Structures are given as structure tokens and as C-alpha cells.
Structure 1
Amino acid sequence: MNGIVNILKPTGMTSHDVVGMLRKITGIKKIGHTGTLDPNAAGVLPVCIGKATRICEFIQEKKKNNRAELTLGIKTDTYDSFGAILEKAEDFDVPADDAIKSAIESYSGEQLQQPPIYSALKVNGKKLYELARAGKSDIEIKSRKIFIHDIRVVRIEGRSVLFDVECSKGTYVRSICNDMGEALGCHGYMSFLLRMASGEFNLENSHTIEEFEAALKLDGAKDILLPTDYALKEYNQVDIFESAMKSFLNGAYVYGKGFTAGAGIQEGDLVRVYSQGVFYGIGRGCLVEDQLCIKSYKLLV
């Protein structure tokens, strides 16, 4: 079995838990998720099976669309509802709606974000949450560049602020909630997160683990398991002639007479590579003596 299943992850499970369940259901060890979704978050989690695990990194790079709830007045050590309460504002004036909208919607474009200490990022080979649980409080956590493509308030009800955010890989929405609480002067934490989309994977084409298991027993999940190249639609397609495939698979350059491709491919571009209708993986455009060639980059074989 090779392909991608878009799992609708429930709250209370880690991304690794999902992988473990799918391994048990399918009997396949070669399964990998495409980006950590925190236990208290639900939503879209594309999971690669078999040879499709070769392209996990390309799905991880895709933009994420999330709906989150910011609850004002409380600060937690994890920046979400799973953490211990550090500070609680018993009596405070909830900022005006305009002030909340202005603070949240100003958090757009390129940002420097400090990840939460309770995260899976590593410092000197140790995961940050492991260091935090061991009582290490003097850890230097470097800020990272992220990009917020769009962020907007959906609804404000008392201390609860619901907002949508489209962001780059590596963005911690719970850090956004913590930062917004500090900016508004009243603290805040992320009380809810729903990942609505990761690239072309969305809620509409997602399935629960139970649905996948039932489909697997029924017909091998043929209507649920997506082909590997489904996740690579943004790359141009190249078709390599059968006579040139051996050279391509051995890592040699394939010159113009050995393939057909659409216009616009340039040096350094990644492309989807096919031969006789079969998807073989990802190639890269190269210039050799001013001639465009295709070379293997990430193969499924």
C-alpha cells in the first residue's frame, strides 16, 4: 500500500499516536505524518504510507489554515489549555473589540516567533518539553522566522476570541495566543485549535481513523487513499521517455531529447516525473552547457 490518507485527528491524540494506530490497522511500518498537531488540537493531518513517506517533507512545507480560540485572562506554561495556570486575572476589563481585532490582525506578514518551551523542538539534542519537565528554566530558546499569510477575527464573545490564521510551516498558534494576551495586557492562552487545511488537504477530503479502517476492510480504502502525486500539484510535470528512464533512475542527466515538459521550467525547479503514465518521484531542472536537463531528486523507487 502506497499513498496518502488525510486523517481527521481528534483531540487528545498526538500525531505519533495516529501513526501508531495506522501501523496497527494496516500492518505497515513505513508510515509517517506530515507535521506535528498538538494533542489538544483537532483537524487535518495528512499521513503518508509506504513509498509516499519519501515526500513527507514536501507536504510539511505547505501553508496551514487554522481556526483557533484565544481565551483572555489566563496565562499557562504551555500556552494552551493542557498547561498549568501561571497567572490568572480575576477581575479585569476585557479590551474593546476594536483593540482585540487590531492586535490580532496586526500579527501578519513575516514575524520572529519564540516557540513555547513545551514543544518538540530540540536544544542540544533534547526536546524542549523534556527539559521543561525536568525543571530546566534557563533554556535559551531562539526565535524563528515565520510568515502569517492572513489572520482575522471571526467572533468575540466576552473573554473568548475566535480567529482564523493562514500561516507557514513551524508557526505555533498557541504562541500567537500567548503573545496577543500579553499585547492586550491581560494574558491569554489557546483554548481550541482546528486545523482546517494543510495545502490541498482539507476538512472536506479528510477521514476519521475509524472511517479509514472500515474502508480498508471493505475495498482496500481505494476511495480514501490518495495517490502520492496528489500532494505535488504545484510542480510542473515532466514525462521521460522509456529509453531514458534507466539513465534517470541511475542519477544521470536526461537531456531535452529524453523528455517532454510544459513551458516555464527553469534551473533549480522541482518537477513531477512520470514515464508511461507512472509517477516515479521528483526531479530537478538543471542547466548543462545552457541546455535544460532533468535529474532525479527524490524517487519513490
Structure 2
Amino acid sequence: MINGVINIYKEKGFTSHDVVAKLRGIVGQKKIGHTGTLDPDAEGVLPVCLGRATKLCDMLTDKDKTYEAVLLFGKTTDTQDISGTVLEEKDTSLLTVEKIEECIRAYIGEYEQVPPMYSALKVNGKKLYELAREGKEVERKARKVQIYDIQIKKIEIPRVTMEVTCSKGTYIRTLCHDIGRDLGTGACMEELLRTRVSRFDFKDSLRLSEIEALKKAGKLMEIVMPVDQMFSDLRALSVDSAHAPLAYNGNPLKARFLHEKTETLPNMEAQESDHQDVPKDGIRVRIYDEDGRFIGIYCYHEKRKEYKLEKMFLDQEELRG
């Protein structure tokens, strides 16, 4: 079984689930999961986790993301993007570059965003887009999202191209809709490209056809990021063989059971503050056994003077192997 993460470029027309299904066929294994839905009309970075790396899915979904979007003023649609049914069209002749820039920049920071009806969020066990397709609209609670930065790349009224860096749970099409509402013309999202998820960048992503070619050439593992490399910014420790069974079973570990691991991961960027004889409360580390197998992520608890398991990545099958 392949264990690791592949940085996939999701093309237009595919759902995120389509990508997973096609990748299962390419690599020949079932245990695969994606790290955050992209709409069918959107393109860009979609990290996909294989094997034990599926335990990373929720962790990557929580990461900040960067998008490049094209906002179109003058049209309001039911889906908040250009693929939806147009609900209203308005004149955009009174818009100015100054008004647009001022409105967009006002969204930098925290804001309350109402999720769109055409989304995968669930209300009473049913996805919102399913209700929307039935012609139903339900009340949605606004959620706090964080817009860390918006870089306006180009303004050619009625279109604006902008780069948005935001927190998890942010809908870029809703951001476009809200900007259009504030300026009185309405707006929808015309294009969307996700350029970054955590450490995964657009320039390094591969299309499914490229991945299939690498698989046929026997080079697939060259593009699979090992699970532990996802945490290369954390200090790496090894547990001594006498106490390794404690770690295998997810038990807490005393600091004296551990020693510095010789680091072999590329692009190691360990934080100096982590490399101390006396660890700080809350410090997270990677734990390995003396055979170099990655066990999991542990967090130091000063009160009990021990490291407690945060996420296990070693399974019993690997130990038996």
C-alpha cells in the first residue's frame, strides 16, 4: 500500500470525489481521501492522501488556503458563481476603481459569512445543495471566517482578478457575492484557481494524466510526500527500544525515554525553540522507533512531565511486517 500525499491539480469538470475515484484506479488501492472540496468549475491544488496518510485529511482541511479568483460585477446567481441561474442583472457603469478597491480591502480581517445554499454543509442531516435543488431555502447561521490578505491583481470593470488568502471554511464565491451586494451591483465568481493549501503549491501540482504516466513508468513514488515530511518543522525524537511498546499502544512517554533522532527529511526547518533539553509545555514533536518507523505526533505536557499522543500514524500491520 502507498502511504503519503500527492499534490494533484484538479481540473475543471471534475468533482473532488471524481479525482479520488480516478486516482484509486490509477494506483490500484482503495484507501484514498481528499483534503477539502473544490467545486467542479474550480481548478487547482487538491492534496490527496493515500493509505495511512488519510489520517492527515482533517488536519489539511483545517489549513489556510490561497485562491486566485475572477469576480464579475452586475450578475447575481443562485449558486453565487457563473454556472448558476442568473437571478438579477444590474448596470455597472457607476463603479469606479477607487470604490471597488475600498470595498474589497474592507473585507481583510475577520468577517461573518453566511454559507451559500449550494454547498455541501448539512442541515438536519441533509446537504444544503440537495435542498437547493428541491427549490428549498433554509436559514443558515453566519460563520466567522478570516481573510488574511487580498491582493488585487487587475481591475477591468466589470471584472476584478484578486488573490485571496483565507482560513478554512471560507467560500470565495460568497465573498464575491458579498462584495457585489455592498457595491449595489451584485456580483458572482467567474473563475477560481486554488494556488496553495498549506505547503502544497500550484506550481508543483500534477494532473491525473501526468500521475498515470508516472505510474506506468514506475516513478509514482517520486511524487508521493511521506507522511512524516508533512511535519518536518517539528523536532524529531526516537523512543528507546525498551519503551517502544508504550508508543506503539499510544501511551504517554517520559522525556527520559526519548533521544534526538538523526534527521533525514529534506527541507528540514526545525524551530530553534524546540531544540531544548527541557521541553516547553505544548511543544509538538515527531516520534519514531529505533528502526526509523514514524509512530506519530506527540505533545509535551509540563504538569505531568510527559509527551502525550496527539495523532498515531503507525499501524499494527506495519509492526507485523
Q: State the TM-score bracket (shorter-chain normalisation).
A: over 0.9
- What is the CA deviation profile of residues 128-172 of structure 1, one whole-angstrom value per residue up to 9, with x for unaligned ones? 0001111212x1101111111111211011211000110011100
8 Å CA contact 1:94, 1:158 repeated in 2: no
Equivalent-residue separation in structure 2 for 1:125 and 1:274 (angstroms): 40
Instruction: For 1:81 and 1:281, locate their aligned partners in 2 and report how far apart those are by CA, in whole Å.
Output: 44
Cross-structure match for 1:8? 9
Alignment of 1:47-62 (within 5 A): 47-62=48-63
Structure 1 segments (4+ residues) deviating >6 Å: none
Find the residue that maps to 2:107 and give its secondary structure.
coil
Q: Which position in structure 1 is the counterpart of 2:160? A: 161
Alignment partner of 1:299 is 2:300: no
- Structure 2 residue 281 is the aligned partner of structure 1 residue 267: yes
Distance in 2 between residues matched to 1:19 and 1:224, nearest whole Å: 16
Matches within 5 A, 1:193-208: 193-208=192-207
Conserved 8 A contact 2:95-2:157: no
TM-score normalised over the length of structure 1: 0.94
Amino acid at match of 1:245: A
Amino acid at match of 2:23: L
Structure 1, residues 246-293: CA drift from partner, whole Å, max 9, x if none?
A: 11121222101111362385434433222233322222222354x2x1
Take 2:158 and 2:94, find their aligned partners in 1: how far apart are those partners? Answer: 7
Query: What is the CA deviation profile of residues 184-239 of structure 1, one whole-angstrom value per residue up to 9, with x for unaligned ones?
Result: 11000000011010011001221111111111121241211111123223434333
Aligned partners of 2:146 and 2:121: how far apart in 1?
18
* Distance verdict in 2 for CA 1:142–1:269, change over 3 Å: farther
What's the counterpart of residue 33 of structure 2?
32
Aligned-CA RMSD value: 1.6
Q: What SS class does the counterpart of residue 161 from structure 1 fall into?
A: strand
Residues 208, 143 of structure 1: alpha-carbon distance in 2 compared, 3 angstrom cutoff: same
The one-letter code matched in structure 2 to 1:85 is: V
- Quote the Cα distance in structure 2 between the aligned partners of 1:185 and 1:228: 48
2:76 alignment partner in structure 1: 75
Residue 61 of structure 1 and its aligned partner are, at CA, apart by: 1.5
Preserved contact between residue 10 and residue 46 of structure 2 (Cα < 8 Å): yes
Q: In structure 2, how many angstroms separate the alpha carbons of the residues matched to 1:235 and 1:8?
A: 27
Does the CA contact (< 8 Å) of 1:74 and 1:85 recur in 2?
yes
**SS of alignment partner, residue 140 of structure 1:** coil
Deviation larger for 224-233 or 126-135: 224-233
Shift of residue 60, structure 1, vs aligned partner:
1.2
Cα displacement (A) at 1:105: 1.2
SS at match of 1:242: coil
Q: Distance in 1 between matches of 2:107 and 2:236?
A: 36
Is the aligned partner of 1:130 residue 2:111? no
Report the number of matched residues.
Answer: 297
Aligned twin of 1:112: 112
Task: Give the corresponding residue for 1:282.
Answer: 297
**Whole-Å Cα distance in 1 between the matches of residues 259 and 94 of structure 2?**
61
Q: Which segments of 5 or more consecutive residues in structure 2 lack a partner in the other structure? A: 261-274, 316-321
- Distance between the aligned counterparts of 1:238 and 1:288, measured in 2? 20
Residues 152 and 160 in structure 2, CA contact (< 8 A), matched pair in contact too: yes
Residues 250-265 of structure 1: pairs in structure 2 closer than 5 A: 250-260=249-259, 262-263=275-276, 265=279
Whole-angstrom distance in 1 between the partners of 2:239 and 2:59: 22
Q: Distance in 1 between matches of 2:258 and 2:62?
A: 28
Distance in 2 (CA, whole Å) between partners of 1:269 and 1:142 is 35
Amino acid of the structure 2 residue aligned with 1:40: D
SS across alignment from 1:51:
helix
CA contact (8 A) 1:248 1:295 kept: no
1:281 partner amino acid: G
Structure 2 length-normalised TM: 0.88
Aligned equivalents of 2:92, 2:310: Cα separation in 1: 57
Q: Percent identity?
A: 42
Instruction: Supply the distance in 1 between the matched residues of 2:189 and 2:12 (Cα, whole angstroms).
Output: 14
Structure 2 contact 66–165 (Cα < 8 Å) conserved: yes
Q: Distance between the aligned counterparts of 2:52 and 2:45, measured in 1?
A: 21
